[in-house]
Chains A and B, each alone.
Chain A
């Protein structure tokens, strides 16, 4: 599976467009009660726990998108985008989407 933020695959032609595919995951962020994180809020610095959590959920959203593309019979997802939105207070949705295509 080729994934890319470009609209083309260099050197190969797109033979079929299979439409938009997406994957998302909703995570609660209320580990905000984390003692380490609130301590960090006084002294500043990177919140490693949050970095990992978000990286993980983004990977999951991405994987789901790739699975959907595979189910459609695509071999590449082009023009991939990520967005984050807050669904409710304390929870956020991470969405990955792109166009599923068949390249020869």
Chain B
């Protein structure tokens, strides 16, 4: 009787892994596709980190713009990351997660600036935080905020 529950538990983990792998990859691929498409569409909006405007810019109007996103990990990513923690090294599954979150936040900021009619964004900054740090059995996710100053000529 006891080994039956054990088998059931193992099956559950395998099922969750398969779900995470399947849907997680699907979501990631779909997300990357929209990111690439929108990056192309917003490519003419220049985003820089420098604090000073070029002199040619004159005296344009400026506005603070920001974009943020919360992206969740999936079961498979977390599993792989836990395995990685035994041996150390790069955690590819999380790298793609934060990359996606950061680009998405940047795109949302750019979209806000574009709606204002801006041509450039200056002094752009990123802030990353994890929503549930150190909490067991809680939702694992990463939040990225991108903010900067939109220059409206």
Which A residues are within 8 Å of any B CB, using their own CB? 2-12, 29, 32, 34, 37-38, 40-47, 50-51, 54-55, 58, 80-84, 86, 89-90, 92
Selected contact of A54 from candidates B68, B72, B134, CB within 8 Å: B68
A11-B58, A32-B138 are known contacts. Are A86 and B72 too (CB-CB below 8 A)?
no
Additional 11 contacts, C-beta under 8 A, given A3-B63, A54-B143: A5-B122, A5-B147, A29-B132, A37-B139, A41-B73, A43-B23, A43-B24, A44-B72, A51-B68, A58-B66, A84-B127
Q: Which residue of B lies closest to A51 (CB)?
A: B70
| A interface footprint on B74-96 (CB within 8 Å = 1, 0 otherwise) | 11010000000000000000000
Is residue B133 contacting chain A, with contact meaning CB distance below 8 A? Answer: yes
Q: Which residue of B lies closest to A80 (CB)?
A: B64
Decide: A7 and B69 in contact? CB cutoff 8 A: no
Contacts of B147 in A (CB 8 A): 5, 80, 82
Q: Which residue of A lies closest to B50 (CB)?
A: A6
A32-B139, A44-B23, A54-B68 are known contacts. Are A6 and B75 too (CB-CB below 8 A)?
no
Is residue B119 contacting chain A, with contact meaning CB distance below 8 A? Answer: no
Decide: B64 and A44 in contact? CB cutoff 8 A: no
Chain B nearest CB, measured from A37 CB (Å): 5
Decide: A42 and B16 in contact? CB cutoff 8 A: yes
Selected contact of A46 from candidates B16, B23, B71, CB within 8 Å: B71
Decide: A42 and B75 in contact? CB cutoff 8 A: yes
Decide: A7 and B127 in contact? CB cutoff 8 A: no
How far is A50 from B62 in the complex, measured between Cα atoms in Å?
A: 29
Q: Which residue of A lies closest to B143 (CB)?
A: A54
How far is A86 from B141 in the complex, measured between Cα atoms in Å?
A: 15
Contacts of B113 in A (CB 8 A): none
| Nearest 4 pairs of A and B residues by beta carbon | A11-B59, A44-B74, A43-B23, A44-B24
Is residue B116 contacting chain A, with contact meaning CB distance below 8 A? Answer: no
How far is A81 from B145 in the complex, measured between Cα atoms in Å?
A: 11
